[in-house]
Amino acid sequence: METVTMTLVQQPELYLECYSVTPDLFAGKSLAEIAELPAHEGKILWKLGDFFKFEGKSGATAAETKIVVNGNVKRMKRFGQQMTGGEIVINSDADMYVGGWMRGGKITVKGNADSFLGIAMEGGEILIEGDAQNHVGSAYRGDWRGMSGGLIRVKGKAGNDIGTAMTGGTIIIEGNAFIHVLTHAEGGTVIIKGDVEGRVGGQMVKGDAYIFGNLLYPLPGFKKIGTVEKEVDGTTYTFDQYIGDLGERKTKKKGEIIYGNIYMKI
């Protein structure tokens, strides 16, 4: 795998839209061609080369290209948007839409990520070493299809709207989360290793939520049906199993009604 290292030389005055920073667009290009790729700051169209200096070499395909981003890119959005392969490592905080609509490859953010992390993601892997804000792996506004595949792991805490309208894939939040986990979900798995304030699984048709800490305000729409042992993230634990949302419409599979599940660690 070839590596392109991009280092910030000029902070944008407002926020920069780095939708061009993907292994797909870097692959097969010379450093000069990469520096010519577009980036928007408000209505102003810049080149990536106006803000970054580039070193190294890109691979022939996206899968053979790794991008390392150095410098404080806290005011830059849309890293790895729609990428299909390869790898991005961001050595600072990043702003919104990291890995949005991503289909493959891997993104690592060494700091925090802002909202809309991995929205409508279809595949690949995102690792956030710090915290994430709201709308992790959720749907774009008005879309009924959120994250459908892949893995998002946040080592810190997250805000609200985790996996809204999710249909597949896995989200792991190792810290605490606020409210609205798997709302409107039709599949997928969310694992919260810390505490959650409430509203887990509201309007959920299908999907699995694993809560390791406290759930402060459980929804009335969930009913306990038993205790199960499950392997989660490589370790086996015992959980109380709740099904719901009983108030939401139900789907059937082979004549059986399918419910969403909440597993509360005992």
User: DSSP secondary-structure letter at 31?
Assistant: H
Q: Does 252 bind other proteins (CB under 8 A)?
A: no
Measured from the CB of residue 245, what is the shortest distance to other proteins in angstroms? 7
Contact between 251 and other proteins per CB under 8 A: no
Q: Does 112 bind other proteins (CB under 8 A)?
A: no
Q: How far apart are CA 190 and CA 204, in angstroms?
A: 12
* Listed ranges 60-68, 81-89, 245-253, 257-265: which one lies at the site for other proteins (CB under 8 A): 245-253
Q: Which residue from 37, 27, 112 is spatially nearest to 74, judged by alpha carbons?
A: 112
- Candidates 49, 71, 202, 207: give the one binding other proteins (CB under 8 A): 202
The token pair that represents 199 in the structure block: 């509203």
CB of 109 to other proteins, least distance (A): 18
Answer whether 188's CB lies under 8 Å from 147's CB: yes
Instruction: Write the burial class of residue 45 (CB in 10 Å: 0-12 exposed, 13-18 middle, 19+ buried).
Output: exposed
Query: Do residues 94 and 114 lie in contact, with contact meaning Cβ atoms separated by under 8 Å?
Result: yes
The distance in angstroms from the start CA to the end CA of the chain is: 44
Q: Which of 22, 65, 112, 134 binds other proteins (CB under 8 A)?
A: 134
Does 13 contact other proteins by CB under 8 A? yes
In order of 23, 25, 79, the CA distances from 20 in angstroms are 9, 6, 8
Q: Which is nearer to other proteins, 34 or 181 (CB)?
A: 181
* Interactions with other proteins, residue window 215-234 (CB under 8 A): 217, 219-221, 223
Q: Provide the sign of the torsion angle of the four alpha carbons 124, 129, 135, 136, taken in this order.
A: positive
Q: With binding defined as CB under 8 A, does residue 96 bind other proteins? A: yes
Q: How far is the CB of 237 from other proteins (least distance, A)?
A: 26
Which residues of this protein are in contact with other proteins, per CB under 8 A?
10, 13-15, 40-46, 50, 96, 115-116, 134-135, 140-142, 144, 160, 165, 178-180, 183-184, 198-199, 202-203, 217, 219-221, 223, 245-248
